[in-house]
Structures are given as C-alpha cells and as structure tokens.
Structure 1
Amino acid sequence: MADGGQVGYLGVARSLSGRVWRQRPADPQDVQAHQRQLGLSEPLARALASRGIAAGEGETYLNPTLKAQFPDPSSFMDMDRAASALVDALERGRRMYVFADYDVDGASSSALLVRWFRAMGADLPIYVPDRMTEGYGPSAAAFRRMKDEGAELVVTVDCGAAAHDAIAAATEMGLEVVVVDHHLMKAEPPACTAVVNPNRPGCASGQGNLAAAGVAFVLLAALNRECRRRGLFADRPEPDLRKWLDLAALGAVCDVTRLTGFNRALASQGLRIMSAWENPGIKALMEVAAAKGPATSFHAGFILGPRINAGGRIGRSDLGARLLSTDDPAEALELARELDELNAARKDVERDVLEAAVAQVERGSNVGPEGPVVVVAGEGWHPGVIGIVAGRLRERWRKPVIVIGLDPVNGTGKGSGRSQPGVNLGQAVQAAYDEGLLMAGGGHAMAAGLTIRARDVPEFRAFLESRLAEEQAEAAALDAVEIDAALTPRSADRDLWAAFDRLNPFGPGNPEPVFALAQVRVEQPMAMKGGHLRCTLVDADGTKLRAVAWRVADTALGQRLMAGGALHVVGKLKPDDWNGRQGVQFEIEDAADPRMCG
C-alpha cells in the first residue's frame, strides 16, 4: 500500500504556479526491498517504488533488455497477416510504397521499413503528405498518385487507422493497403489487408503505449520471422534489427509515449545504439546542431526531434523521412542543414502565433483561461506550429488547450490540442466529430488534431467545456508538483545526479526526478534572451548552486525570482559540463515564499 506521500511538502499548499507540493507516493515495503535487494539509497529506492516498480522488478527496470520484454509479434492483431502480405509482395517483386505521417514518429517508422526492405534488396519509396495542401493522413488523391506511379501495395505508418473513406477508395482503385498505427480508433477498422495497431479494440498485445515506430519495429521482427519460415535467408544475411533501434527510440521519445515495459526497453536500448551515431542522418543533424553525445532522451526530444519535425511544419514534409533513411553522408548533411534552417524559421513563426494566442485569450471574455478548456482560433496561424503553441499554453494554464489556425478563404480551420494529465482530450475530440461539430478529428488522451468549419468554433468550444468540466475539475484537484527528494546546494553534486540518472530514459510513465530545496536565497538573478533567467541559489552556510529557469519572464515565478530573496524551490538536477567543469545546475520549475507556507 502506497504511503500517499507528504501533501503540502515544505508546507506548500499553493505555490507560485498555483499548485500544492507533495512527496511522490511510494509503497514503504517496496522502498525497503529496493534498498535491500539493489543496494540503493533510500531516496533513490523511494523514487523507484514511486514509479510503480514493485519488489523484485527493480533490476529489470534499471537495466531493461529487449530479450526479457520483447512481445510476441503474433499477439498484435493482424501482425501475422501484415507480415505475410509484405513478404508475399517482396517475393513477387510487387511495387510497394510507405505512406508516412510528417512528424518524427512517422519519419522514424517509415525509415525502419525502408531500411529493412533495402537490406532485402528492395526499394520502398516514401510518400509524406504536405501538411498545408493535403492535411493529415491518407487521402484518395494521395493513393491515386502512388497508384499512377506504379504502386500495388501501400503501407501506412503512424496514420491510417481512422482513414476509412480513403482506404476504401484505395481498394476500389486496386491498391492493397496495410495499416501500421498506434492512434485511438473505432472498433470497426478500415477494410484492408491488415490493420496493426495495439490500440485497436480487441488487440491482446498489451502494448498500447508504443509509438508507431515501436509497432513498426515489432513488424520488422515479424517480417524476419516470416522470411525465416520461408527460407529466404538461405542465401542472404538476416537483417540485424538491433542497429535500427535508434529509430524506434526516436519515435518513442518524440511522440511522448509512456516509457514503461517493452517501450522503456526499446527507448533505453535505442538510445545506446544512437550514441554510436551510425545513422548518417542523425549524425549529421547532431553536427549541424553542434550537439554531442552520448545520446539521451533530451537529445532525441529537444535537439533531433524539433529539427526533424521542422520539415513537416513549415518546409517540405518528406525531409525528415529522407534524412533518417539515407545512407549517403553528403545527402544527410545537406538535408540536416536545411532542417536546421527550417527549425530556426519555425521558432520565429511559433513566437508570433504564441503571442497572438496569449493576447487573444487574455482579452477575450469568452475564450479566457477560467474554463475547463481553452479553445483559441486565429486567421493565418500556421498549422505547422499550432501544436507547439498548444503545448506552451497548456504549460501556462495547466489545462487542455486547442489552437486553431483559420483559413479565411475556405472558411475552415486546422486545430491541434494538448491535454493535461487526467483529461482525455482525444476522446472528447472524437465525440465532437461524432456530433457533427468537426469535419475531421481524433487523437489520444494527451493530444488531438482536428479540422473544423470556422463558424462552428464557438459551438465546439461550448461542447468541450461541457464535456470536460468534470474531468478537468478532478484533474485540477490532483494537479501537484510531485517531489522525489529534498537536497541542499551542498548535496547537489555530480554523484547525486548520476545516481538518479540510472532511472533514465525519462518521459511519461517515468518522470524525471524532481527535487526540493528549502529556504535558499536567490542571488544575482539575470534575465536572458528567450524569456529565460539565470541565478544562484545559496543556502544558510553560503554554499552556492547555479540555477536556471526556462521561459519564465512573463510569469509569477519569473517575477519573484528576479526580485531575489528567500524561497523554497523545486526543479531538476542537470549536468553542467560547460568548459569541462563536470558540475551540476538546478532547473527551477516552481517556487514558493516560505513566509506563506504552513
């Protein structure tokens, strides 16, 4: 039985972000077992137990292996059928295409398939729809283009599970379709050869937390098995799937999937493979970003991911997939440079849309942040950045946010949403579609996409406010800063960081450890470009700790930090290797005035 954690940690019932602080709850018996069995300190053992790791499971969690956790591919509905169809096409020399979504998960998934078929001596062209002109997912027009170019079979990755009409059109024109997806879907799948999706109703795999790249990686194992069964490796080597684990990890991290079970092993082992930087595209992207390894979830999510996504957001949609699938270092470098430039341009576009959205919400009586959900729409907002902006606003207001870019010419809008833990936004958007309020819509618990008629935005907002009111109220009541351990500027050293870093890779289902420092003085606060802030945290005996707070300039936290003085602070401990110092710094995420605490 978990101890429930200490609510009002350090007496903080309401921080500068408006949240209560509490110690992350953990089962005391599991804490003791981890200490005894693994030789861990009490804080680290508690952190492990608080992530749901029971006694006896700690070794597997700290050292995840694919051998121990790889699922049987046949446990996925339609997996064997998909593998059989693809190997049939390979043996018969049928022309195949892979149709991919334009984000990192789609690019990673398509690159996995391209590389497997290349190893088997076959070419697999990639088709990625243009975000601006074709929208999300398969369409009859896209299938027609591939058909006209000689396609006989199309594999859709990271999309397709909800494309009933488009796939029906593909079937009518004589195309065979295999769907590899992970998004929520209705009970009735599209009518095609196979629909492999761990979130398909009735699928017994238990792998619903996988990104599409993870599903694609399991498909490669099924393809190897099917080829082995047919004796196709008698005169050629079996493709070594391990060398492509970096692509599976990239999709898992960048699609913000729950890093638990097999998916955690996939991400952990994939980041190790990535650290060798043998994929020419990934290596080139690291070079142009002036970043260095070994690879971590930070590299994947904040250095590689945004640049790979930039092509689909404001450039050519297929750039990311081409980058990850090429074996030509020169081509990889050219693509990486183009993506890096697009990412810089994307930041400018994102900033403009974010400022406009914030201004609209703060001055609009019917779109303010007081309700259970924020739905904001504006003409000309680039559809390639609305998802990022929605995420930024969700962080700011701590509730679901949907940002819609309206096209005044055709009277429609493209929307993207990000949710708060405990609020299933994808389900709500699907319900709005079923009610006829949307032209298209779907997603998963934490993110959703939609197409809407501009005139329907107010009614859609009202629908979500009514539907999500209860969920959001419950989520808000549970919204707390969960703290793993207390530390001091003196105890915050490289050894402590390394000890807790054993919990890596971090992400949903395995949050990065959060630490609290009590009664520290904020000295030498300095505003930086981008709304960031640097300062020094000093304890009673004068020990200092370098600290930084990201994007806080216009928040209560940023204003209080700039004022200096005594504070309780919470945040994350990070390595600080600037100029070879091998130290640490503290990333401040929240703070509270000790004078206001009980």
Structure 2
Amino acid sequence: MADDGGAKTLNAFLGVARSLSGRAWAQRPADAATIRAHMQTLGLEEPLARALAARGVGADQGADFLRPTLRALFPDPSSFMDMDRAAEAILDALQAGASIHVFADYDVDGASSAALLVRWFRAMGTELPIYVPDRLTEGYGPSARAFDTLKASGADLVLTVDCGAAANEALAHAAAIDLNVVVIDHHLMRAEPPKALAVVNPNRPGCNSGQGNLAAAGVVFVLLAALNREGRRRGLFADRPEPDIRQWLDLAALGAICDVTGLTGFNRALTGLGLKVMSDWKNPGLRALLAAAGGEVGPAKSHHAGFILGPRINAGGRIGRSDLGARLLSTDDPAEAEALALELDGLNLSRREVERAVAESAVRKVEATGAHADDSAVVVVAGEDWHPGVVGIVAGRLRERWRKPVVVIGVDPVTGLGKGSGRSQPGMNLGRAVQAAWEAEVLLAGGGHAMAAGLTVEAKRIPELTAFLNGRLADERAQAVALDALEIDALIDPAAATRALFDAFEQLAPFGPANPEPVFALSGVQAREPVQMNGGHVRCRLVGPDGASVRAIAWRCADLPGGQALLSGQGGLNVAGRLKADDWNGRRGVQFEIEDVADPRMV
C-alpha cells in the first residue's frame, strides 16, 4: 500500500484485488532500510525483520519492542493531568480514616481496574468496597441514584474506574450531596470535565501524557505508582512494606487485552510483562476461572485473556450479577474464587445461547433489507427484547461479517427505550459520531471511543439515529474501505507452516490493535476433507501443489462465499490467515486459522 498525498493505493498481493469476502490483499508496507537494520542489529531473518518494521518499530526501537521493560517505558505519573491531585486526595482520605468506595464498570476492564485498587488498599490494611451498577436496571456508568446509594451507605470518597469521565450530570449531583469523587477513566469525554476532586484520563483534552491507548486498568496501574510515590513522600512506609505493584501486572494486562487497546509503547510493556505474571496463575480468581473453563496452567497468552477468561468475566455483567467479575479478581479466598468461577462459567454458557439467538435474528433483519451490502456507512438494527448484555458482542460479530460499523439495539417494548452497542471499522470513529448524536439530542445517552460505543435511544427515533450516523460517518467510509485491505506479512507454502515459524513470530507478541497478529498467505491450495462444524465453522486440510499440507479452520463462515469455496473442496485457492499453536495431546504443532479466501479465477 503506497501513500500518495494522503490517499492510499493498493498493490494487490497475489493479484487479489477482491477476495471472496470483498477485500483486497496487500503486503504490509515496511521501510527497506529499517528491515536491514533489524536484521543486522537484532539478528533476525528477513520475514521477521520485515514484520517488525511494518509495525512502525524504528531501527533504534527493536530491542525495546521485543524485550520491553517498565524501567524504559513507564511514564511519569505527573504527566497525566490531575494524577498528582488524585493521589493526594486518595491518601488524604486514607489517612483521615474516611470511607472510600470504588465504583466500577461491569466489563473486564472495569473489574480489573477495581481489583487493582482493592489489592493496593488491602496491602495498606484497608478493605475497599466495590459498587458495580446493574446493566439492566441502572445502565452504564455513574448516576444520581447510585451516588445517593453510596452516600447513604456512608461513603465519603468514591473512585470511579473505567467510567465517569463523561458523567457530568451525575457527578454534579454527587457534589451537591457532598460526596467526593475521583474519576479514573480512558473514554472520550466532553471538553468540560465533570465536577470532581480529580479527573485522570489520558484522553482528556489537555492531557499531555501521550498514553491515550491505555485501558482504564493501565491508568489505574499508573495511579498505584503515583500512590506509592506520594506515600513515600508522606513516610507511610516507615512501618509497613510498600505495596509491590508488579505482582498485579496480570490485572493490567487483562484489562488492556480485553478492552482491545493499542499494544504499543508502555501499554505493550504493561501487557507483555503482565502476561508473564499471569503465567504463574497466582491470582486465585484467574486460576479458578481457567480451571472452570477446562484450561491448564502454563504460559499465558493473549488468547487466554481475550477468549477464555475475558468472556467469562464479562458474562456476569452481561446476563448475571454485575459485580461477579470484580469480586473474582479481588478475592484471596480459593473457595470463594472457585464458587464465583463456576457461576461465571455457567453464565457464559447461557450468554452464548442468548447471543446466538440475537445474532440470527439481526442477520435476518438486515440481510432482508440489503443494508449490509449497500453504500451506507453504518448498519443499525433493532429488535424487541434483545438482551442489552449481548448486543455489543453481536455488533462485533456482524461487523466482522459485513466489514462496516454495526450498531445493535435491544428495545424494551414496555418503556419504548432502546439500549444499544456498536462496533466500528478502522478509520471510522464511531464513539465520536455517537457523542455527536447525543449532543444533537437524538440520543438520551451515548458515548464511547473510536472502535466501540454505547447508547440509549427512544425506539421511535431509531430511524433518525440511523440517518444521523450514516451522514456523520459518510466521509470516513472511503478511508475505512481502503484500510480494510487485508495486509499480509509473508507468503509461505504449507510445508513452511511449522511450529518453528510460529515460535519465531511469537517474539512480536502480545498482539492487538497497532500490533496486529502476523498474517500469512498460501497460494494455489486445495481444501481437502472439509467438514462443517457446529456454529458454522469449517475445518479442513490445506494442501499445496507439492502435496504438503497444514490443518486449518475458518470460523463462522459456512454460509459465506469463502466457507462455501472451502466446503466444495475447490483447488487453486489463495488463502490468508494466522498460525496458531496446536498443543493437543502434546503434539506441539500448528493450525492455520483462515481469515480470508480468494479464487484467482474470479479476480
């Protein structure tokens, strides 16, 4: 992909200008001089050096990227607006014996953030009560009702985590009832901050920390460093050990991965080192949840956080009790951890069924109208009694399917209110568009960040919301289509799809936004022994012209053109995807996870 005056043009990789999913393929661009530098200074083979350069890692940054350390990358806490003020306010309250409570969002990032604070306060000899709003009855974030409840329970200071930065009205109410609040967040917010003792948010207008890619858990981790620093200044550790915050890096990593944050710079170090801490499985809640999911202790990867632990922690906030995740991550009692983990695992099974039903209904509605395949910028779909706890997951699934932003809204037929969640495409800032819809009074509530947003809307105004979002995002659509090209790191043949290649590229992990998982292409392969599995997945062997093969799977595609090409056993296909470890029964092999399929005869 070349840059010509800001417009991107594609040099089709393997000649794929349009795959069976409608995407172009391009080799991930990399500077030749930087590739050579990585090969010479780091001793890397060309494909890995190219992948490193393609991820924007400069010639002098390779060592820090491959072996990140907190010492080299930890930001000065004071660079965050209000961070010093927050640390001072919290320690003032702690030293005065005030009643301090944490108010957390109900997702993984909120639970991780709350658990970080609980564990720091516990190390200081104080138990920190947790308040998590109920998704169905209270909705997202702080409210006047919640603050009234906390005030009545005796709270003097409330720390909001992963929420609060845009809750201006609720925090004004807290101030009116003399309830002090410190906000720790990372979401987009208004230019005028809410009324609070401190508002710490790297995405706050005017904050110069340069850490806008942090999840809330990452911001809280920096707050813990600020608390330790302020505590040293006050002499609080003269007769007690200073809390070693490094032992809780696993919680910071969990929030970063599950909130799909950009894994670069300090956030990459936080996540990579956090996965190493997680690998010891010393947190009773994480260990119990892994066991409940049928996993075995061992080296933790992003997959553990994003696909095994995260969905189960989220299940409590989605269709169960909203505080289950925070309680699980905070407890030191193995018996309590086991009970909570089993409850969350059961809720996750129920969540899957609810999600499947909503997704099927949403697909039927949208594909009957053709909104998924027209030139509209965004798909908005609503249905009565769709569970608000799963609309975000469904939106993400449908975004993957249709390659455009999707907003899914569950409407309560009694109140006439819709609770919705959206997921976006790179290049389209959905959170900003939703915020604009709220400012235009199309929504009752709304906000988020570039790739995800939540909203509340009157059902009768959903068509107006659809038109507003399509108008707002129309200019970003062309950029998003260009960015949606599938970027390939290397062309390999099935014989080269080995564990050695996988292990070499694992040096780039952990993967996520801004550090994508390597994508490999196979040319002229045939799908042999294809089998359609439950859930619409397709399993097969990809066999090259020389007879070499690799086991492969493609997710949720049996009814799509790519999946149908695989199921037909068609030969001569170009296939792109990712290598995954296959350690079943100790085999230490690999499996090719198919992302896209192209038929050269149809290009």
Name the TM-score class by shorter chain.
Answer: over 0.9
1:572 equivalent in alignment to 2:558: no
Q: 1:94 aligns with which of 67, 92, 98?
A: 98
Q: Distance in 1 between matches of 2:474 and 2:423?
A: 16
Tell me if 1:195 matches 2:199.
yes
Q: CA deviation at 1:287?
A: 0.5
In 1, the alpha carbon distance for the partners of 2:112 and 2:564 equals: 41
Question: What is the Cα deviation at residue 148 of structure 1?
Answer: 0.9
Correspondence for 2:309 among 300, 304, 317: 304
Report Cα offsets for 1:209-247 as digits up to 9, x if no partner: 000000000000000001100000000000000000000
* Alignment match, 1:553: 558
Please report the TM-score for the alignment, with normalisation by the length of structure 1. Answer: 0.98
Deviations 1:425-468 (A, max 9, x none): 00000111111100001111000000001111001101111111
**CA apart distance, 1:362:** 1.3
Residue identity matched to 1:232: L
* Distance across 1 between alignment mates of 2:287 and 2:79: 35
Q: Of the candidates 444, 463, 483, which is equivalent to residue 439 of structure 1?
A: 444
Rounded to whole Å, the distance in 2 between the matches of 1:239 and 1:130 is: 32
| 8 Å Cα contact 1:33/1:55 also seen in 2 | yes
CA offsets, 1:548-590, max 9 Å, x none? 1111111111111000122110000111111111111101111
Determine which of 163, 168, 177 is the counterpart of 2:181: 177
* Alignment of 1:582 onto 2:577: no
| Residue number among 125, 128, 143 corresponding to 1:124 in the alignment | 128
Residue 520 of structure 1 corresponds to which residue in structure 2?
A: 525
In the TM superposition, 1:187-586 aligns within 5 A as 187-292=191-296, 293-364=298-369, 370-566=375-571, 567-586=573-592
Deviation at 1:309, TM superposition (A): 0.1
Q: Which amino acid aligns with 2:367?
A: E
Percent of pairs with identical residues: 69
User: For residue 280 of structure 2, what is the amino acid of its counterpart?
Assistant: A
Q: Is the 8 A contact 1:547 1:585 kept in 2?
A: yes
Aligned to 1:150, the other structure's residue is in SS state coil
Determine the C-alpha separation between the residues in 2 that align with 1:523 and 1:119.
Answer: 57
* Residues in 2 aligned to 1:298 and 1:289: alpha-carbon distance in whole angstroms: 13
Cα distance in structure 2, aligned partners of 1:404 and 1:533: 30
Task: Tell me by how many angstroms 1:493 deviates.
Answer: 0.7
Q: CA deviation at 1:6?
A: 7.2
Task: Determine which of 153, 165, 168 is the counterpart of 2:169.
Answer: 165
* Alpha-carbon contact 2:2-2:10 (below 8 Å) kept: no
- Does 1:62 find its partner at 2:66? yes
1:305-352, Cα deviation, whole Å (9 max, x unpaired): 000000000000000000000000000000000000000000000000
Q: CA deviation at 1:364?
A: 2.8
1:478 offset after TM fit, Å? 3.2
**CA distance in structure 2 between the aligned counterparts of 1:7 and 1:93, rounded to whole angstroms:** 65
Structure 2 counterpart of 1:25: 29
Kindly provide the amino acid, as one letter, of the partner of residue 154 in structure 1: V
- Cα RMSD for the two superposed structures: 1.3
Does the aligned pair in 2 maintain the 1:110–1:126 contact within 8 Å?
Answer: yes
Check the 8 A contact 1:2/1:26 in 2, yes or no: no
Partner residue, 1:71: 75
Deviates more, 1:306-315 or 1:186-195: 186-195
2:40 corresponds to? 36
Q: What one-letter code is carried by the residue in structure 1 that aligns with 2:200?
A: V
Match of 1:48 in 2: 52
One-letter identity of the residue aligned with 1:86: I
AA aligned to 1:523 is R
User: Secondary structure at the residue paired with 1:360?
Assistant: helix
By how many angstroms is 1:366 displaced? 6.6
Query: C-alpha separation between the residues in 2 aligned to 1:577 and 1:121?
Result: 43
Equivalent residues of 1:361, 1:368 under 8 A apart:
no
- Unaligned 5+ residue runs, structure 1? none
Q: Separation in 1 of the partners of 2:389 and 2:218?
A: 24
Task: Write the distance in 2 (CA, Å) between the matches of 1:366 and 1:476.
Answer: 16
**Aligned-residue offset at 1:370:** 4.3
Moved more, 382-391 or 403-412: 403-412
Moved more, 235-244 or 472-481: 472-481
How big is each residue's C-alpha offset from its partner over 1:156-212, in whole Å with a ceiling of 9 and x where there is no partner? 000000111111111111110000000011111011100000000000100000000
Instruction: Please tell me the residue identity of whatever aligns with 2:495.
Output: R
Deviations 1:250-296 (A, max 9, x none): 00000000000000000000000000000000000000111133100
- Aligned partner of 1:586: which letter? F
State how far apart, in whole Å, the 1-side matches of 2:134 and 2:500 are: 47
Task: Give the match's secondary structure for 2:580.
Answer: strand
Q: 1:103-160 deviations in whole A, cap 9, x for unaligned?
A: 0000000000000000000111000000000000001111111111110000000000
Contact 2:380 2:406 in 1 (8 A): yes
Query: SS of 1:294's equivalent?
Result: coil
Q: Is the 8 A contact 2:372 2:402 kept in 1?
A: no
How far apart are the structure 1 equivalents of 2:11 and 2:111? Answer: 43
1: distance between equivalents of 2:285 and 2:371?
46
Distance 2:172 2:13 in 1: 56
Which residue number in structure 2 is paired with residue 596 of structure 1?
602
Q: What is the CA distance between 1:369 and its match in structure 2?
A: 5.2
Q: Does 1:85 align with 2:78?
A: no
Cα contact 2:553–2:593 (8 A) shared by 1: yes
Task: Tell me if structure 1 keeps the 8 A contact 2:428–2:480.
Answer: yes
SS at match of 2:425: coil
**Offset at residue 473 of structure 1 (A):** 2.1
How far apart, CA to CA, are the structure 1 residues paired with 2:440 and 2:309? Answer: 39
Distance 1:354 1:72 in 2: 44
For these two proteins, the number of residue pairs brought into alignment is 597
CA distance in 1 between counterparts of 2:62 and 2:535 reads 40
Note the alpha carbon deviations across 1:356-392, whole angstroms, 9 max, x for none.
1011111136787541110001110000000000001
The one-letter amino acid paired with 1:542 is G
Secondary structure of the residue that 1:565 maps to in structure 2? coil
Q: With the length of structure 2 as denominator, give the TM-score of the two structures.
A: 0.98
Deviates more, 1:367-376 or 1:101-110: 367-376
